[in-house]
Amino acid sequence: MRDADTFNSGRELRLAARSGAFHRPTSGEAPGYVQANLVILPRDWAYDFLLFAQRNPKPCPVLEVGEAGSPETAILADRADIRTDLPLYRVYEKGELVEETGEILSRWRDDFVFFLLGCSFTFETALLQAGLRLRHQEEGVNVPMYRTNLVCRGAQRFLDSPMVVSMRPFAPADAIRAVEITREYPAVHGSPVHLGDPAGIGIADMGAPEWGDAVTIREGEIPLFWACGITPQLAALVSRPPLMITHAPGYMFLGDRADHEFRLSG
Amino acid sequence: MRDADTFNSGRELRLAARSGAFHRPTSGEAPGYVQANLVILPRDWAYDFLLFAQRNPKPCPVLEVGEAGSPETAILADRADIRTDLPLYRVYEKGELVEETGEILSRWRDDFVFFLLGCSFTFETALLQAGLRLRHQEEGVNVPMYRTNLVCRGAQRFLDSPMVVSMRPFAPADAIRAVEITREYPAVHGSPVHLGDPAGIGIADMGAPEWGDAVTIREGEIPLFWACGITPQLAALVSRPPLMITHAPGYMFLGDRADHEFRLSG
């Protein structure tokens, strides 16, 4: 199900990304280590985004916020460099995607603040350990992600904007288990926001995800939809901050902390 | 266990507080309605506090943040007035408590931002419904609150500062139930942060709580300690923002939403 050459730790993957050697989606990589979405904004926009995240905790569960000007992590990983340690970045200027790039060293500014948000890849370990199978991993592709008609509540200059979801199909008994298990992980999107008919949340064509790749849904399977950390990228398209840098969908930050640390403890 | 004249809704209690008729602690009042801690700061300090809360979610679970200058709630209650609708307020200037007052109309400023934080009184309804008894309600006093040696992680101008806890004693079987039940309410402090020996978290004298009232701990009972929304007030004493207004300990904001809405849903 996984490559033989997968990484043994989040740090190993980060160093491979830093050197430019690793540039694939990260689902299933360095199993057992936390994965996270990245958002970087100028300090002037940091309160707006933190409040947007507070108002929309399912798509935007904040795990770490950097100090203005510092690209160094302290909570999810010991001194990772947020400018080089992800496999792929996206740069948005006034809501337009202007570049996809392997590092952002030359773009870094003294007023940048980074945010790391929980990612559903973190609870995938728990799903696999429970004996469930993940179709996108079986098919060797990126998880499919869709824009929905669920609305995130705006905050300051971040406007109301659509929630993005990731989708995983399961047979009914496994779907129930998947709800039970992911409910235990509220810091990494928690339980699904929808299951069953895609039209119920405004998805017209399951074969054409806006991000990631389509996967097979077999006869009798039910699609489950989880809030997704790509949601801030869609908010950026709508709200047009002067500059915002994110990870590329599916190409996540890998931390030093274990997935199970994000299991609900209270 | 409760007064015969308790309120039938959060709104009823708010109106009584607004008129000046109600000025008691709110534990057990308007049962079934959410209760919340209040913090008001100038806009210039809002990011610092929101980040402090993000880094310390057990003592500071943020439920609603107002717009700068607006005293009106939109999420926890329909148009409550944050300046009048709590039974008692505290005003801190540069970390000094300068006033306790029934309303803050004349102190309100155009740059004030209010924060409502989850309160353990919200999960008390679930504990009572499970057949547990709450000693402070039985004895008709405010819940006891203590300063601990657990350290909250600072953020910007909010410095590292001690966590405050509330305490409820239970027989062992009920203590286990209380952990199980409150774990389901992460938005209102969740499961306890400590149980058993008070010295383990730096509490020297259970008979002398810093806030609220001491309660009887019977032979064989175990004290359970939950993170408490008074924590920001202690952070203010340490960090000395120019002005910060809060509720008085135990005199909470009452919302329109039901306690059970804050039960974990994912």
Tell me if chain B has a CB within 8 Å of the CB of A183.
Answer: yes
Same domain, B146 and B156: yes
- Judging contacts by C-beta atoms under 8 Å, the chain B residues touching residue A50 are 47, 50-51, 54
Within a domain: A3: no
CA A48 to chain centre: 20
Q: Which two tokens stand for residue A258?
A: 């274990």
Mutate to test the interface with A, among B39, B56, B65, B226 (most CBs of A within 10 A): B65
CA gap A257, B40 in Å, rounded = 34
Burial class (CB in 10 A: 0-12, 13-18, 19+), B179: middle
Same domain, B139 and B82: no
Interface of B with A in 226-255 (CB under 8 A): none
- Judging contacts by C-beta atoms under 8 Å, the chain A residues touching residue B46 are 47
Cβ contacts of A93 within 8 Å, gap of 6 or more: A242, A243
Chain B: give the shortest CA distance to residue A13, in Å: 26
- Other C-beta atoms closer than 10 Å to the C-beta of A131 total 8
- Phi then psi for residue A253, to 5 deg, are -80, 135
Same domain, B104 and B172: no
For residue B148, the domain's CATH number is 3.30.2040.10
Same domain, A45 and A76: yes
Same domain, B213 and B84: no
Give pLDDT tens digits for A70-103: 999 999 999 999 999 999 999 999 999 999 999 9
Closest by CA to B54, choosing from B202, B158, B174, is B158
B238 HSE (CA, 13 A, CB side): 18
Tell me if chain B has a CB within 8 Å of the CB of A18.
Answer: no
Same domain, A70 and A144: no
Within a domain: A4: no
Same domain, B126 and B182: yes
Domain that holds residue B204: 121-227
Please judge whether B191 and A265 are an interchain contact, meaning their C-beta atoms are less than 8 angstroms apart. Answer: yes
Same domain, A167 and A178: yes
Same domain, A151 and A72: no
Q: Domain count of chain A?
A: 2
Tell whether the model's pLDDT for residue A3 goes beyond 60.
Answer: no
- C-alpha Rg value of chain A to the nearest Å: 17
> How many residue contacts between A and B have a Cβ separation below 8 Å?
51
Chain B: give the shortest CA distance to residue A178, in Å: 12
Same domain, B105 and B144: no
The rounded mean pLDDT for chain A is 94
Within a domain: A108: yes
pLDDT score at A163: 98
Within a domain: B88: yes
Contact B61, B262 (CB under 8 A): no
Within a domain: B4: no
Please judge whether B182 and A54 are an interchain contact, meaning their C-beta atoms are less than 8 angstroms apart. Answer: no
Within a domain: A232: no
Same domain, B49 and B92: yes
Residues lower than pLDDT 50 in chain B: 1-2, 4, 266
Tell me if chain A has a CB within 8 Å of the CB of B50.
Answer: yes
Give pLDDT tens digits for A4-27: 467 999 999 999 999 999 999 998
Within a domain: A188: yes
For residue A26, the domain's CATH number is 3.40.1640.10
Q: What percent of chain B has pLDDT over 90?
A: 92
Chain B: give the shortest CA distance to residue A3, in Å: 31
Same domain, A178 and A110: no
Tell me if chain A has a CB within 8 Å of the CB of B186.
Answer: yes
- Residue A155: closest CA among chain B residues belongs to which residue? B67
- Judging contacts by C-beta atoms under 8 Å, the chain B residues touching residue A190 are 265-266
Tell whether the model's pLDDT for residue A216 goes beyond 50.
Answer: yes
pLDDT score at B266: 41
CA gap B236, B37 in Å, rounded = 14
Closest by CA to A261, choosing from A123, A60, A58, A80, is A123
Please judge whether A54 and B65 are an interchain contact, meaning their C-beta atoms are less than 8 angstroms apart. Answer: yes
Tell whether the model's pLDDT for residue A109 goes beyond 80.
Answer: yes
Within a domain: A215: yes
